[in-house]
Amino acid sequence: MTARAALLKPLATFIALISAQIQATQLTPDQINAKEKGIELYNQHKDPEQELRIAAQAGDKEAQYYLAEDLRRTSRYMTAEAYSWYTAAAEQGDLYAMRRLSSMEDDLCIAMGNCPKGKKSAEDWHQQLLSTATPLAESGNNEAMYLLYKATDEIEWLEKSAATGNAHAQFWLALRYTEGKKFFLFPWERHEAIDDLFRKSAEGGDPKGISEHYGSLLKEKKIEPARYWLKKGAETGYTVPFFEYAYFLSDPNNPLNLPVDLVASYGLMSLLLELDGGGDMLPLAKDELPRIAAQMTPEQIKQAEAFAKEWKATHPPLSYFPEKLGF
């Protein structure tokens, strides 16, 4: 290989990676709707298999990844079908699928002695993840930076991702600093860095970052901004601030001094009844709704039902926002 060819090879590899991403599978409107609904159900701990399978079979790599995640989580170990969908997504360049395939040694199938066999080993997938994500990260792709952190546990990649505006990376970097990662000369410097990262994550729209930033403001008794960010969190559909906001609207002694609005409180709380696929929100809502209803007239309850319908039509769906690379 000539020196010129050696220099051009990394560039050719990078161009091929970008081209592969641009040539993404084109889904029909029905397939797009199925994919979006499937991811919504997945995030609500409901059964998304039927919807995700439609888009996965059409070749969409993100749907293939989520379908594989659902199959693996349902069985609690890496099944042969889950493995095949991870592989299909990874072969299209999906970094999350590569990461999952590279961490097979942590799967329950190892203890069970029935891990699926593929053409590539976990180490092969790890190396492919590194070789795929690194040029993307070096070109400024902050999601690739985040995946490199997940693959290597090198906090520098997480810091780079956060520094370039990845709101979820900012959330996770704040958590890592909370756990004692990185040296700070003075304790107050660590505290300031954590608060700043949660604030940036919230401003970037990350639901979990919003929730943490709100919590910090409430702890510091900064009532006005805390009130603002709690409502913002509820408006993302994230169940934690959503429930708290709904609850506070029926509590005259709430710490944010929010005015009581039983119609809004009941309406929002009733939407949580939809989360019947798992998680802790359904029993909480069932406990709270009778208490709120006892303070309302039949007319107010009708108004609350209309409020809930309008909210659902104009806001994102409720979500637990499980980590895309979860357990």
pLDDT(205) > 90 = yes
Task: Give the CATH number, domain containing residue 146.
Answer: 1.25.40
State whether 156 and 183 are in the same domain: no
Q: Is residue 75, in this structure, part of any structural domain at all? A: yes
- Tens digits of residue pLDDT in 274-290: 999 999 999 999 999 99
pLDDT band at 22 (very low <50, low <70, confident <90, very high): very low
State whether 22 and 90 are in the same domain: yes
Q: How far apart are CA 234 and CA 231, in angstroms?
A: 5
- Tens digits of residue pLDDT in 231-260: 999 999 999 999 999 999 999 999 999 999
Q: Is residue 202, in this structure, part of any structural domain at all? A: yes
- Tens digits of residue pLDDT in 78-123: 999 999 999 999 999 999 999 999 998 777 777 677 788 888 999 9
Q: Is residue 36, in this structure, part of any structural domain at all? A: yes
CB 55 within 8 A of CB 38: yes
Q: How far apart are CA 94 and CA 220, in angstroms?
A: 41
Q: Is residue 33, in this structure, part of any structural domain at all? A: yes
So what's the pLDDT on residue 24?
53
State whether 200 and 152 are in the same domain: no
DSSP SS3 for 279: coil
Could you say which of 140, 164, 188 is where a domain stops?
Answer: 164
% pLDDT > 90, the chain: 84
Q: Is residue 171, in this structure, part of any structural domain at all? A: no
Query: Which range of residues forms the domain containing residue 32?
Result: 3-164
Could you say which of 164, 198, 231 is where a domain stops?
Answer: 164
State whether 215 and 266 are in the same domain: yes
- Once rounded to an integer, what is the mean pLDDT over residues 174-203? 94
Q: Based on the structure, what is the number of domains in the chain?
A: 2
The per-residue pLDDT of the chain, averaged, comes to: 92
Tell me the pTM: 0.88
Q: Is residue 302, in this structure, part of any structural domain at all? A: yes
Q: How far apart are CA 251 and CA 248, in angstroms?
A: 5
Could you say which of 135, 164, 193 is where a domain stops?
Answer: 164
Q: Is residue 322, in this structure, part of any structural domain at all? A: no
